Chains A and B, each alone.
Chain A
Amino acid sequence: MSLATRLKPLVDNWNRPFWDACAEGRLTLQRCKTTGKCFFPPAPVSPFTGRPEWDWITASGKGELWSYVVFHQSYFPGMKDELPYPVAMVKLDEGPFLMTNLEGMSAADAKIGMRLRVRFPGGPDGFFLPQFGPEGEAA
């Protein structure tokens, strides 16, 4: 088992461009035209104004580890072999948070506040799930 046996993302009209960009190796975010602030998950309107005035931007793909957990309980058959697995909450430099996994490092080496960078090693059925590892290492 691997990223290929993960659950597929729930794709909707708002996040489809996000997943298309992931397949091209780019992390994208919606940016509010009025405030210049980014938001995630993708939505029909900016949460800062309530208006449908936003652009897609390619994010830096960098951020810091805000917190993390390690799952010991099995909830997903396709992840059973990964147990225990970490889930990291990453605060992107653009502001929004992502839940993701640690790639190229173990949870034992995780330190809150450490710099991380995105990579797209794979995913289920043609999807590429953003994963995060140390900023300094090649993605």
Chain B
Amino acid sequence: MSPDSPIAAPALGDAWPMRDKVAFAGIGTTRYGNFPETDSYGLGCEALNAALDDAGLKPSDIDGLIVNRIPTYERFAEMMGINPQYCLLTEAPGRFSGVSLALAAQAIQSGAAKTIALVYGNNGRSNRMMYGGGDSQWSPWGMTSPGATHAMMWRRHMHQFGTRHADLGHVSKAFRDHACLYPAAVMHGKPITLEDHANARPICEPLKLLDYCLINDGAVAWIMTSAERARDMKRPPVLLSGYARQDAFHYGSGPADDLWYPNLSATRSVYDRAGFGRDDIQGLGIYDNFSPTVLLSLEGLGFCKQGEGGAFVRDGMLALGKGRWPTNTSGGHLSDSYMQGWGIIAECVRQLRDDCEGRQIPDVQAMQYICATNIAQSLILRRDS
């Protein structure tokens, strides 16, 4: 770790040649839960078929394939009968949902492929996936698991800014309330109170059970193509207006001593890239592997000042029908499904196609996705007008 490496922010206002050029033409999600009778291949096929049906396409229309958390692209392509001209398996961490999206957009824009299927499949629940343990740099000291990294950073945040564990309850509760509006969510029908959040079993203090994402089986597929081609397909296209990313690896071996604030702040360039600002956005999708990342994301992208995230969410700011920034309207990773960003981005697309029924954001024109990790990213999706 070299604590004082500067973060090179992308130049604000630089022209971004990809604005509104690439679109989501279809999305598909599976049921979520514990499905030992299938695996990530089976779930991935199910999601991709749903996405193809949604877009009105067949496997032979796909000439690009990106898979994630599915063991091999060859076997998956073989199963679906796809022989693409562009194919890739991306890394397992959830930050790669956004990375995969950007790679697909670049491939489409450069002509490497016309219509790309991006397929995420996860059978971590039935597989008894353990996020933690095993040999690593810090395992002799018992330091392991992504949750512990976030717990370490959140303790520091509380010390530095006076935030409290109770602030996170407003995040967990808002997302659980949203899951209760979404029949497919794992935690549908299981409301929680702020007291439940405060009294939950500690996992890695200061974080407790309801600060942690779910672990469940399921899959998500997106079909991406050019905006032009998408306009001739079955559903209204959802356009990728802006994407910004800034990595910071100087603390790659441990929790981030800068709480990812500098690299998250650098991704504020997403507004210039999209060509419109925060006021033109109606809802958010925030990568919530652990509840603190939601506050780090809001602070980093400038929704509030650094350290004020707790106060910002306290009065229902993230709650549908109440706050200015309805966030993770299907329940996010905390309460809908742990699809590592893939499901959250799919929900943003559903919002922009008015597919959300009882959890629909009224008059939504644009949605913003934020992912707080060492690969900080934000993207803005909008309706095709």
Residues of A near any B CB (own CB < 8 A): 6-10, 37, 39-41, 47-48, 66-73, 75-76, 79, 82, 84-85, 87, 89, 91, 95-97, 99-101, 112-113, 123-124, 127, 129
Q: A75 near B254 (CB under 8 angstroms)?
A: no
Residues of B353-372 at the interface with A, using a CB-CB cut-off of 8 Å, are: none
Residues of B within 8 A of A40 (CB): 1
Check if B281 is an interface residue, CB within 8 A of chain A. no
Shortest Cβ gap from A100 to chain B (Å): 6
Check if B203 is an interface residue, CB within 8 A of chain A. yes
In the assembled complex, the Cα of A84 lies from the Cα of B201 at a distance in Å of: 12
Shortest Cβ gap from B135 to chain A (Å): 6
From known contacts A6-B142, A71-B148, infer whether A47 and B155 are also in contact, taking CB-CB under 8 Å. no
Shortest Cβ gap from A15 to chain B (Å): 9
Q: B153 near A67 (CB under 8 angstroms)?
A: yes
In the assembled complex, the Cα of A129 lies from the Cα of B135 at a distance in Å of: 15
Residues of A within 8 A of B145 (CB): 73, 75
Residues of B near any A CB (own CB < 8 A): 1-3, 5, 130, 132-133, 135-145, 148, 151-153, 155-156, 159, 201-207, 250-251, 253-255, 257
From known contacts A67-B155, A67-B156, A69-B206, infer whether A101 and B2 are also in contact, taking CB-CB under 8 Å. no
Q: B2 near A73 (CB under 8 angstroms)?
A: no
14 contacting pairs across A/B (C-beta < 8 A): A10-B135, A67-B155, A68-B152, A69-B206, A70-B202, A72-B205, A73-B132, A73-B203, A87-B152, A97-B257, A99-B141, A100-B141, A123-B140, A124-B140
Chain A's closest residue to B130 (CB) is A75
Say what secondary structure dominates the interface of chain B.
Answer: loop
The one of A72, A76, A101, A112 in contact with B204, judged by C-beta atoms closer than 8 angstroms, is A72
Chain A's closest residue to B133 (CB) is A75
Q: B136 near A10 (CB under 8 angstroms)?
A: yes
Shortest Cβ gap from B138 to chain A (Å): 4
Q: B203 near A87 (CB under 8 angstroms)?
A: no
Residues of B within 8 A of A87 (CB): 138, 141-143, 148, 152
Chain A's closest residue to B255 (CB) is A89
From known contacts A39-B2, A71-B148, A95-B3, infer whether A66 and B156 are also in contact, taking CB-CB under 8 Å. yes
Q: A6 near B140 (CB under 8 angstroms)?
A: yes
Shortest Cβ gap from A132 to chain B (Å): 10
The one of A9, A72, A112, A127 in contact with B155, judged by C-beta atoms closer than 8 angstroms, is A112
Q: A89 near B152 (CB under 8 angstroms)?
A: yes
From known contacts A7-B140, A97-B254, infer whether A71 and B1 are also in contact, taking CB-CB under 8 Å. no
From known contacts A87-B148, A96-B1, infer whether A68 and B204 are also in contact, taking CB-CB under 8 Å. no
Residues of B within 8 A of A84 (CB): 202, 205
In the assembled complex, the Cα of A85 lies from the Cα of B206 at a distance in Å of: 13
In the assembled complex, the Cα of A28 lies from the Cα of B37 at a distance in Å of: 52
Q: B139 near A47 (CB under 8 angstroms)?
A: no
Residues of A within 8 A of B151 (CB): 69
Q: A112 near B159 (CB under 8 angstroms)?
A: yes
In the assembled complex, the Cα of A70 lies from the Cα of B148 at a distance in Å of: 9
Shortest Cβ gap from A6 to chain B (Å): 5
In the assembled complex, the Cα of A41 lies from the Cα of B201 at a distance in Å of: 33
Q: B255 near A39 (CB under 8 angstroms)?
A: no
Q: B2 near A48 (CB under 8 angstroms)?
A: yes
Q: A67 near B255 (CB under 8 angstroms)?
A: yes
Q: A69 near B152 (CB under 8 angstroms)?
A: yes
In the assembled complex, the Cα of A12 lies from the Cα of B145 at a distance in Å of: 22
In the assembled complex, the Cα of A54 lies from the Cα of B3 at a distance in Å of: 17
Chain B's closest residue to A77 (CB) is B133
Residues of B within 8 A of A66 (CB): 156, 257
Residues of A within 8 A of B139 (CB): 7, 10, 76
Q: A39 near B142 (CB under 8 angstroms)?
A: no
Residues of B within 8 A of A76 (CB): 133, 139, 142, 144
Residues of A within 8 A of B141 (CB): 6, 87, 99-101, 129
Chain B's closest residue to A70 (CB) is B205
Shortest Cβ gap from A27 to chain B (Å): 14
In the assembled complex, the Cα of A68 lies from the Cα of B48 at a distance in Å of: 43
Residues of A within 8 A of B251 (CB): 97
Residues of B within 8 A of A123 (CB): 140
Q: B140 near A41 (CB under 8 angstroms)?
A: no
In the assembled complex, the Cα of A43 lies from the Cα of B135 at a distance in Å of: 18
Q: A82 near B159 (CB under 8 angstroms)?
A: no
